[in-house]
Each structure stands twice: as C-alpha cells, then as structure tokens.
Amino acid sequence: MNKRAFVSHIQKYWQVLYPSLSANDLKRYLAWRQSFMRRRLQIALQIGIVAYATFIMLRLFMGSINPGSLDPSWLRMAIAVWLSLAGCLVLHHSRFGKRHPALVLLGCSWSITLIEQIWATWRGFAFPGIFAWTLVFLAQAALIPVRWPIHLLSQVGVLAYFFGVNSVLGLEQEQAALWDESLWLYLFWFCVICNLSVLMYERLQQAEFQALAELESEREKSERLLLNILPEAVARQLKQEHRTIAENFAEASVLFADIVGFTELSSSSPPEEMVTLLNQIFSTFDYLAERHGLEKIKTIGDSYMVVGGLPTERIDHLEAIADMALDMQWAIAQFSASHSRPFQMRIGINTGPVVAGVIGVKKFIYDLWGDTVNTASRMESHGVAGGIQVTEAVFQRLKHRYRFESRGAIPIKGKGSMVVYLLTGKRDALPRTEPLSLVR
C-alpha cells in the first residue's frame, strides 16, 4: 500500500468514527485533540513526578525516625518510578513525543503500575496494587479525558501482566487469597466508569467542536455579507465602535453610470430576463471595480456608482476611475455584441472633496455626500450615450495621459454653465484584446 492509499484509508477510518464532522472539521478536531492531549499530559507528568517525590520524602522521613521501618528495595523501586516519569517528561518534549503523545501516556501510566509489579515479582509475587491502579486510572481519566482506547489499553496491560506473571510462576492460589471476587468486580466497574467518562467527555467535545465550527461558518457568512454591503475598514470600525461613522476626504473621484434606454428595453422583455441581464452587467462592473481597487457604493435601478480614494486613500484614484470607465465602455460593447442588444452607457466622472459615512440603524449603507458627488451625477445625466463625460478638474488632472474631446460650455442643472469634456481613451494604449468572456 503506497502512502497516498494509506492516508486515504486512515481518513475513511476517521470519517466512520466521526460521521458528524466534515473532512475539514475532522482535520481541525484531530489537531485540537492532539494539542489538548499534549497540554494535559504535561500536567499529568508534572503531578506524577511531584507525587512520587512526596512518597519518597515521606518514607525517608519516617525512616529517619524509625530506621528499621525503611525498606531499601521499596526506595529503589520508587526512585525507578520517579526516574521513569522524568524520562517520560523529557520524551514528551521530544519530536517523537510531539507526534505520539498517546505512547507517552502509556509510558507514564505503566511507569507507575508496571514498575511496581515488576518490583513485586522480583520479590516473589506480583500483588494486585489496588491503590496505585485506581489512583492512576482515575487521574488519567480526569486529566486526559480523550482517546478512551488508550486508557483501556493501559488498564489491560497491567492486568495482563498481573495474571500472566502469576500464572507463569504458578501463584494462582496466593493471588486468589489476596483478592476476593468483590474486589475484582470493584476494579472492573471502576475501569468501566473511567473509560465511559472519557468516552462521554470526548463525545461532548466533538459536539461542542461541531457547534463551534458551524458558528464559525455562520460568522464567516455574515462577515462576507457585511463586506458585500460595506467596505472592510468601515465594517470593522462599525463592529468595534457602534456609532455614527462619517469622514471627510479632501480628494476622491466619483463615477456614475447609467444604461441608456434600459427602462424602454425592460418594458418589452420578460422581467426575469431583464433582471438576469442587469445582474450579468453589474457583476462584470463589480469585477472591474475589484480589479482596479475601487469601492462600489450602490446600484439604483440601472444606475451604478463607484468611488476611488476612499475609505482607503490612494494617490492614483482618478486614474483608476478613468480606467474603470473605459473598461466599462468596452464591457458593455462586448455584452451588446454577444447578446444582440443595443446597450449603451452614459458615464459621468468628477473629482474633489466628499463626505462619506454609514447612515441608518437597519440595512446599513455606505454613501457619499457633497458637491463633488452631485456634480458627478450631473455629468452622467447630462452626458451623451456611449460617452464618458468629465469636469474641468478631471480634464486638468488627466490631460497629459488620456485623450479628451471638448464639448465646450453646456448648461448643467443646478450648476449653471460648465465646461465639460468627453474621455475617449488612454494615450499610447494598446488595442483591446480581451475576449467576450470578460462579461461574467
């Protein structure tokens, strides 16, 4: 079996054990369990080392009071257990221990239970260590309540040694004399309860992990929805401060676009078809806004508004808006050709100071205000079909890098007579080669 087949087999095995978790959540859960087990094993080893040190010091103290009570062989056994636990702690921090904490757990458990059994065997009989066994099994279940098969293996290993050694030595009668049936039944149910406790805890952790994964998934969905409504910086500020958000920007560029004759076209076509077409067009504009690093503000009917230079300031916001306008013209021409529809756009651009912020307490919207915005809207509404109409301020900023045609002074509602220009292209620009698939 090659490595890929082996990994696939293991993944299927885990999926059977944890059917409620998706493959990605299962991977995260197993990583969490490994980390949790290592943290708790660290604590268990430290407690074991300190505990055995206290036993040794107590025996030494009692031996200093009554020298005849000190058993040198027991002291050697206790020191061997202490050294074994210390070795497990060192192994725990090694590369092997980080990859296989379950084996370190077995080493920790058997350091206490089996070394004592080996010591007793050396003295002639492996006695049932009721106090050491139950204390170790209870401590394991309380401190490291995951992977119950490892707990079961640690218990079976001790009992297998106990019965196996005494059978080999022919000491079944002495064994039976030390423990009656009630004590064996007590040990059996003690182990069952410990393992059941570990199993139930891990099931609870799996359920909590699944709930947290679902909660995280919903949070991510909510986050994406919020970012579809508000710019990322504004959304973050709104979540943290819960107050009215309004900022002055000394310079920004605003673009308004409107599909010419869309209302008339929609009256002669099924509503579903026109909504689908509008969605395709505006989805392409969204893609272009993202590509140029601009912020879409809103759509109203068949009108589209985008801004450059906020909420994150940039010095080339006007150039980005101009490139966006030219790409929008190209996209709508491609769309018209592919759908055999006479779509055209009026686009208006202006640059200058604006006020931006979030209004309302429900259905938040990030919007712009100011004379710059109003004038950009007038550039679109007073423009020509298929043209990109801009103000004098835009022309002065871009005239050395872009091509323009002057329309002279024309009357603008609410503004009087204004000199306006039509943006026709970029100087020294290469011919367009983008395919029709640009419109998504």
pLDDT tens per residue, range 385-437: 889 999 999 999 998 899 999 988 888 888 888 899 999 888 876 565 555 44
With 90 as the cut, is the pLDDT of residue 363 above it? no
As a whole number of angstroms, the distance between CA 309 and CA 295 comes to 8
Report, as an integer, the average pLDDT of 306-325.
Answer: 89
pLDDT tens-digit map of 39-72: 999 999 999 999 989 999 998 988 888 887 788 8
With 80 as the cut, is the pLDDT of residue 364 above it? no
Residue 3: the pLDDT is: 47
Report, as an integer, the average pLDDT of 176-190.
Answer: 75
Report, as an integer, the average pLDDT of 309-316.
Answer: 85
What is the share, in percent, of the chain residues with pLDDT greater than 90?
Answer: 32
Residue 204: the pLDDT is: 86
Report, as an integer, the average pLDDT of 189-194.
Answer: 92
Residue 226: the pLDDT is: 67
Residue 116: the pLDDT is: 87
pLDDT tens-digit map of 232-245: 666 666 666 655 66
Confidence category of residue 155, pLDDT binned at 50, 70, 90: very high
Residue 232: the pLDDT is: 66
With 60 as the cut, is the pLDDT of residue 35 above it? yes
pLDDT tens-digit map of 80-99: 999 999 999 999 999 999 99
With 50 as the cut, is the pLDDT of residue 438 above it? no
Backbone angles phi, psi at 393, to 5 degrees: -60, -40
Report, as an integer, the average pLDDT of 343-372.
Answer: 83
Q: Which residue has the higher pLDDT, 66 or 224?
A: 66
Confidence category of residue 216, pLDDT binned at 50, 70, 90: confident
pLDDT tens-digit map of 244-287: 666 788 899 999 998 887 777 766 677 777 788 888 888 889 99
Residue 222: the pLDDT is: 72
Q: What is the mean pLDDT of the chain?
A: 82
Residue 206: the pLDDT is: 80
Taken in order of first residue, the domains within the chain and their CATH numbers are: 3-219 (no CATH), 234-438 (3.30.70.1230)
